[in-house]
Structure 1
Amino acid sequence: MRKLLYSTLWITGLLCCTISCMEEQDFDQFDDLRVTPTLSSGIFYLESDEETINLAGPLGSFYFQEVTFEAFNEQYVAERLIEGTMTYQIQNTTSKRLRIVIEFLNEDGRVLDVERFDIEANSPDIVEYPVFYGAGGKNINILSSTKSLRVIADNLSVGSSVSANPDARIIFRSGAEFLFQLQ
């Protein structure tokens, strides 16, 4: 009798487990998964002392450089770019008014976009300028089509003034943050 009771309880328990605790698994959840990684990177850095700026003379260029920008040279990556932010930081402790121009160039050298910064003299605080691309900002195709950046820095002042700061210099740096849709 005991053996029959244990067997009945065992079979009942097994039936309850298979009926109540099991459900069919849905492995199609991966299709609903959306992955949007953010990539941050420094883009370029410009630093110049006041002596170099003075050598360029009044209204002369003291810096000219074309920087390769290959962040989106793979079509797979360029097509999945959702939005981006280019952030520029400027600190000028020189006695010079300056202008820095960044041109975004496509593979043919055609200008896609221009960022222009007129910088006042003796501004020791770091000033930050974010520029948004994508929803609510500039056209995202500017970033995905850019192959190089042309950076030009001009002296808008005379070529002989000297700052009271013994280590007077302009520091201009940029960085970027990009958001991608992988799935």
Structure 2
Amino acid sequence: MDLQGTLSHQLQQLRQQAESIDRQQLPGKPQNWFDSTVFSCRSPHLTDYVAEAQRNLTHLHDAKLSMAAKQRLAQRLSEQTAALTQAFRNVDVRRKPTSKGRKVAALVQQFNAGSQQLYQQLSDTQEFERRLSDMISLAARDNSAEAIQRGLALHARLGRCRKALFDIEQQIQELERRN
């Protein structure tokens, strides 16, 4: 197989890979795949870049081109095929979640679970505070010694409840500050 046949075959394989990648929704898929020094087209589809390289291969055998123009075109074609091959390797890297990506996802999940738990605890404690306040109001209506004792105990519980609310709010603020 001659050089043109080899390049043509390689570009056909790259086109098939490009078509496969273009059909997929990949995270981090670029809007423009390549630098303007390598390709003149701008596209989110790899097949457009392979088509440009295939056109360059066709023009390479144009009899009207000077030897210098053919050399420049051959150099450009070489750069294009190398860039396409590298892009396909990078696509494979984008598909695999990195260990760092998994760690970040785990931390986000842990943060969400921790924050949900803290907010639930805050809600429960606020409800308890409300019930204690209601009980204190009821106890204040009765002037018996037993009711006064019960009121003092309820006030002590309310103080501890408010301290717990303050602590939970501080934990939530600290958690949100870290993230």
TM-score, scaled relative to structure 1: 0.28
Higher relative contact order (CA 8 A, sep 6+): 1
Question: TM-score normalised to the size of structure 2?
Answer: 0.29
In proportion to residue count, which structure has more helix?
2
Structure with higher strand content:
1
- Could you say which structure has the larger radius of gyration? 2
